Amino acid sequence: MIDISCLGLSVGESFVSFNCFSEGVLPIVSGEISDQISEFHQRRGGGDLSVEEEMAGAEQWKNHLEQWKNQLEPWKNQLEQWLNQGIEYIQQIPPTQLYSAIAVLLFTSLLLLLIRVFKRTKSNTIVLTGLSGSGKTVLFYQLRDGSSHQGAVTSMEPNEGTFVLHSETTKKGKIKPVHLVDVPGHSRLRLKLDEFLPQAAGIVFVVDALEFLPNCRAASEYLYDILTKASVVKKKIPVLILCNKTDKVTAHTKEFIRKQMEKEIDKLRASRSAISEADIANDFTLGVPGEVFSFSQCSNKVTVAEASGLTGDVSQVEHFLRENVKP
């Protein structure tokens, strides 16, 4: 129903106030009526109307609105009829059947909501990081196209690509591509790591197994910083410590590298515990207080594997990628 009480005409000595036009009546009338009202306002604003014309105009618009109201009345009656029929139909349904239908409706709605919440597309991003010179970029190209890239390959900007692993290019069926990001290992460029960690499905931390001992402390500090980041701990992002260049005779084994890094991280825990509350660089602490640190104490899964980027032995890192980015 249209309330036309807003037409309340206020007649003064020389004017009539049409409050309805400031309260939204104008938008609900259509076509010719709207044009007439607009013309009336233009004439009235320009002082072209006398008091008698204003009164006559007001009466005319009131009649138009009454007609509009009468035209809407059948629709109102029809809606009321449909509503009453719906209520009568519901009242005829046995209570048990009605409650069952409501329960099914609620259950279906809740199920659809849960599916929408939990069935989010899992990230296919794998972050490749580690100290400079550890062989990350060589591994990147080996995984992407099987190329060896002989010699030193140092990247100053992240290498980023989405592709099917080279070893899977001949496989049949649908294979999900991996979004691999090679983050530079230079200390001044590590801030770029924070751009990719929030959407990472896994982290590959590359260690140079050939030159491990001189870099053990630096590599352990970098890994410590990664393992204590909030984005890694809260999402429990799995980490693979990948010992690269193991094809060389003098390369250290993955067991040796794991134990040495655990010892270094244990020392870091002790040295940083005194300032842990004020340490803004690390969001969480590692390990169990009073116990010697081991990677098994981390909230996220940390594993160790071997590889050789130059010879193409990357099967273990490929297994890690496919564990966390399902085909």
The pLDDT tens digits of the residues spanning 177-200 come to: 999 999 987 777 777 888 899 999
Predicted local distance difference test score (pLDDT) of residue 18? 38
Predicted local distance difference test score (pLDDT) of residue 60? 82
Do residues 294 and 262 touch, judged by C-beta distance below 8 A?
yes
CA–CA dist 208, 305 (Å, integer) = 12
Q: Is the pLDDT of residue 320 over 90?
A: yes
Residues 6+ apart with CB under 8 A from 127: 181, 183, 193, 196, 197, 200, 202, 203, 204
Predicted local distance difference test score (pLDDT) of residue 240? 98
* Residue 169 or residue 251, greater confidence: 251
The pTM assigned to this predicted structure is 0.62
The pLDDT tens digits for 18-75 are 344 344 444 444 455 555 555 655 555 555 556 677 677 778 888 888 888 888 888 8
Q: Which two tokens stand for residue 107?
A: 């259950």
The pLDDT tens digits for 249-275 are 999 999 999 999 999 999 998 887 665
CA–CA dist 18, 176 (Å, integer) = 67
* One-letter-per-residue 3-state SS of 303-327: EEEECECCCCECHHHHHHHHHHCCC
Do residues 9 and 48 touch, judged by C-beta distance below 8 A?
no
Do residues 309 and 135 touch, judged by C-beta distance below 8 A?
yes
Question: Does an H or E element contain 112, and which?
Answer: helix 95-118
Q: Is the pLDDT of residue 235 over 80?
A: yes
